[in-house]
Amino acid sequence: MAALDGPQDATEAMRQVYEARRNRVVAALNATPGLRCHMPEGAFYAFPDMTACLGRTTAGGARIGNDWDFVFALLSEVGVATVHGSAFMFPGHFRISFAAADTLLGEACRRIRRFCDGLH
């Protein structure tokens, strides 16, 4: 009961932190060539659409034929772990959590950008 009836200051502070993280990650993903990302409304993850990357080849020579290829190459080539959208019945997308430290999220977004910039 105390959790529901007690002070909510800490809860509101954490909500604001996660909202700011979500906003930064979604903005960075939307600024990345080949990605489009809807603003999630109550989750700790985003599902960017990566279908514009299909049929392209990574800087490391991997062909992107589906969302699994995309996330595997993303992990292999730039060290960013995500989950292919097909695992959630959402093919052509990938899932990225923003429940991590700001510095890690910023670095992950920079690496995703570098990966997508290298597609040809």
Instruction: Extract the tokens encoding 20.
Output: 């700011």
Q: 8-117 has which fold?
A: Aspartate Aminotransferase, domain 1 (3.90.1150)
Measured in whole angstroms, the distance separating CA 22 from the mean position of its chain's CA atoms is 9
Residues forming beta bridges with residue 36, ordered by sequence position? 49
What is the per-residue pLDDT for 42? 86
Q: How many CA atoms lie within 13 A of 90 on its CB side?
A: 12
Domain boundaries in the chain?
Answer: 8-117
Q: What is the pLDDT of residues 46-104, one digit of tens each?
A: 999 999 999 999 999 999 999 999 999 999 999 999 999 999 999 999 999 999 999 99
